Structure 1
Amino acid sequence: MYKVLNVRTESITKVRANFNKVIKEVRETHEPIYILSNNEPSAVILDVQSYKEIIERNQQLESELLYAHTSQRVQNGNSILIPAKEVVNTDLTDNPYANRSDEELFD
């Protein structure tokens, strides 16, 4: 049996029978409810605001990770830095990377 600590769990049967009540409770408490099927977690019900906060936090963490990887590559000296102005003003017909695959361009 899967054990979920400090969160509410409900059987899928009970949620199905009381769906409107469950949704109302989640909206009011902003606490998730784990839905169990055969005593195993199969879904989570979240209110919209909590879901948006999770998505925003995930996007923020992805940006921070990208920045950290970029900073590390710059510090390691493995990259050539090109000023943004030079990139913007570049004639795309002379782009040496135009015919390269994603595998060749990215780690």
Structure 2
Amino acid sequence: MDDTDLVLPRHALELLRNILTEMAQGNAVTLMPMHAEVTTQEAANLLNVSRPHLVKLLEEGVIPFTRVGTHRRIRFQDVMAYRAARATESEAALRALADQAQERDRGY
């Protein structure tokens, strides 16, 4: 083995740190390209919802998908965009509730 230095971009080091942190906490880590497609069950697992609920979202056009034969496939990028949008909505609702509680002197 030689003593050659390895130079990594800052974002690669941050990614590696995040991966190692998750693994140290006992969490599973999966790396997936953003353009990859996932099954309905995989997407449901990522969103922490039931597969039937996910299928309903797909059929309502909330999350785009394609069909491969009779199977639905969802782009990983679209699943993550939906998840981020839901997180933003949840944070806004929680912030509104906290503001309302403060206005009413509820101590939050």
Query: What is the TM-score of this pair, normalised by structure 1?
Result: 0.36
Q: Which structure exhibits the higher relative contact order, with contacts defined as CA atoms closer than 8 Å and separated by 6 or more residues?
A: 2
| Structure whose residues are more often strand by fraction | 1
